Amino acid sequence: MLIFKNKAASIVSAAVNKLWGQDVTSSDVADMFEYPPDPAMGDIALPCFKLSRTLKKSPVMIADAISDALDDSVFDKVESVGGYLNLTASSDFLKESLLGIIEEGERYGSSDEGKGKTVTFDYSSPNICKPFHIGHLGTTVIGHSLKLLHEFAGYKCIGINHLGDWGTQFGKQIVAFRKWGDREAVERIGIDELVRLYVKFHEEAEKDPSLDDEARAEFHKLEEGDPDNIALWQWFVDVSLEEYKNTYRQLNIEFDYYTGESFYIRNGLGMKQVDSLKEKGLLKPDDGAYIVDLSEYDMPPCIILKKDGSTIYHTRDIAAAVYRKETYDFSKSVYVTSAQQSLHFAQLFKVIELMGYDWYKDLVHIPYGTVSIDGAKLATRTGNVVLLKDLFAKSIEKVTSIIKEKNPDLEDIESTAEAVGVGAIVFLYLSNNRIKDINFNLENALSFDGNTGPYAQYTYARTCSVLEKAKPEGTCGSVTVPEESDVIKSLLKFPEKVAQALEDYEPSVITRYIIEVCTSFNRFYHACQILKADDPEVKNFRLTLTLAVNNVLRTALHLICMKTPSKI
């Protein structure tokens, strides 16, 4: 209702200034507006208590006086109740707003807030040679949704997949492959074969600890640029990326760069920052390692170099932050990771501040909660890990059976089932506030009833079905029943919801909003004749309303990484 708020604020502020000779701006009034707890009380309400301090009059008197002074076609009803001014939008205003939504089309709800500004997004970032599991879903879909929201607000956005593609584990992987691996098996089976070899290494190393020394030696050779080890490592990366990119395709996600940890080590950027820390007097020896002491800031020391002189996560992240600032000149740099890494990023940002970089304040960590499956927490060590590809496959299989039962003549069942099956999982994940822990239940996610992805996609497909049969044309009528005005009012909230989601870094704002739009549209759909409306103007108005819902749902679903099949 941002459009209504702004219009009402302009009218109310003018009335206040005329009544009492004040200089109250429309933005002052707009900031005071609230949504009443009961829609029957009005669309928006102005609590006059703040104005009473300015005007030195009682809130009740102020609300009464403004109510008597307002006479505008924007309002259907103006009421003064206990110091609140309750305002209801008129049918004419709703019709005008609906036509405005149609005119803006796919840009409705967007803004130019970010014009001329660049934001980098560091998200997903799986570890090479390890498969995607459901624990990776949070960083991936939250991160991409935030990127899409920022793009929608006019920012230039750069999506970076900071792959975990460096470290001593690659020495183990090299040893394991050379001792027990087979190239053909890896090419055929993929990342699962790499995992099997890695697990076998640990099993064998328990019997023969010298394998660990062998692995360290192979990783040292990798760091030194040994051609054979580099070629093998690059192959491991390529095999892993092939599977990751299939998952990203299913999620409708693309990255601008796959710039992993190795990039900053192999190009000398990590050691460059180590030298910089030394020059600034920040690096201190500590039992053979080198640290930045953060005790003054109530944080543990930030380890920069391990005892063997090799770099660690913080070293690479410092290098990455400096590289991104120098390369992209970001206005904001956003990191989307588990809340368990909050200390890591607090240390990182503090070290960058201590290094004298004033852009440390533009670094933002977006944490999220943990996920469990039917109440059981995920744990790699106990084997309780659900692979994302397996979860997607199971979900797609269930959706396929539902579609074959309910709509067996659907032309492209396979792609539709994938869109709905994967979308169901994404929607359920993004329905919760990101910081909350999630208990994932597949049966609940796949329901076509209730607050689910399939329900939202089915509603969108319903609007497509109506519009396939007829498009708005001719003279457009106006609001005739409450169900129509309810839909328009829900659509008018979209710009506010986008702004709120951006401000809070919270995609669930959009997810919950989608359910609100779907609920109001389905209520309208069942209560009102659209294609069979007797009056041509009423029919055209309702088709226009359906088109607006179609546009907003398509945009909103896109903002949370959801595909929009036109038929289900």
Q: What is the pLDDT of residues 437-465, one digit of tens each?
A: 888 777 877 777 788 999 999 999 999 99
Q: Which are the contacts of 532, defined by CB distance < 8 A and separation ≥ 6?
A: none
d(CA 337, CA 136): 9
Q: How far apart are CA 242 and CA 173, in angstroms?
A: 18
CA dist 80 and 411 (Å) reads 57
- State the 10-residue block means of pLDDT for the chain, 568 residues long: 90 93 90 90 93 91 93 89 94 94 95 97 94 89 98 98 93 96 95 93 94 93 93 96 94 94 92 95 93 96 88 92 97 96 97 97 95 59 66 92 92 94 93 87 78 95 97 91 96 96 98 97 97 94 97 98 95
CA distances for 126 relative to 248, 314, 429, 441, 450, angstroms: 12, 17, 18, 24, 33
| This prediction's pTM | 0.93
What's the pLDDT score for residue 162? 96
Phi, psi of 74 (to 5 degrees): -65, -30
CATH 1.10.730.10 residue ranges for the chain:
400-559
Query: Smallest Cα–Cα separation from 94: which of 470, 417, 563, 548?
Result: 548
CA–CA distance, 491 with 479 (Å, rounded to integer): 14
Q: What is the DSSP string of 378-409?
A: PBTTTTB--BHHHHHHHHHHHHHHHHHHH-TT
Confirm if 126 and 246 have CB atoms less than 8 A apart. Answer: no
Q: What is the 3-state secondary structure (H, E, C) of 454-490?
A: HHHHHHHHHHHHHHHHCCCCCCCCCCCCHHHHHHHHH
Between 494-504 and 2-20, two packed helices, what is the crossing angle to 10 degrees? 100
Side-chain-facing half-sphere of 402: CA atoms under 13 Å: 18
Confidence (pLDDT) at 375: 58
Cα–Cα distances (Å) from 317 to 1, 102, 263, 320, 352, in that order, read: 42, 45, 11, 5, 10
Closest to 161 in 3D by CA, of 244, 258, 36: 258
- Cβ neighbours of residue 250 closer than 8 Å, sequence gap 6 or more: 392, 418, 422
Domain with CATH 3.30.1360.70 in the chain: 2-89
Contacts of 201 (CB under 8 A, 6+ apart): 172, 173, 175, 176, 211, 215
- 8 Å CB contact between 355 and 280: yes
Q: How far apart are CA 189 and CA 494, in angstroms?
A: 45
pLDDT of residue 381: 37
What's the rounded Cα separation, in Å, for the pair 291 and 307? Answer: 11
Q: What is the dihedral of CA 483, 489, 491, 496, to 10 degrees?
A: -160
CATH of domain 400-559: 1.10.730.10
Asked if 377 and 384 touch (Cβ cutoff 8 Å), the reply is yes
Mean pLDDT value across the chain: 93
Residue 314, amino acid: H
Report pLDDT for 378.
Answer: 47
Rg (CA), the chain: 28
CATH 3.30.1360.70 fits 2-89, yes or no: yes
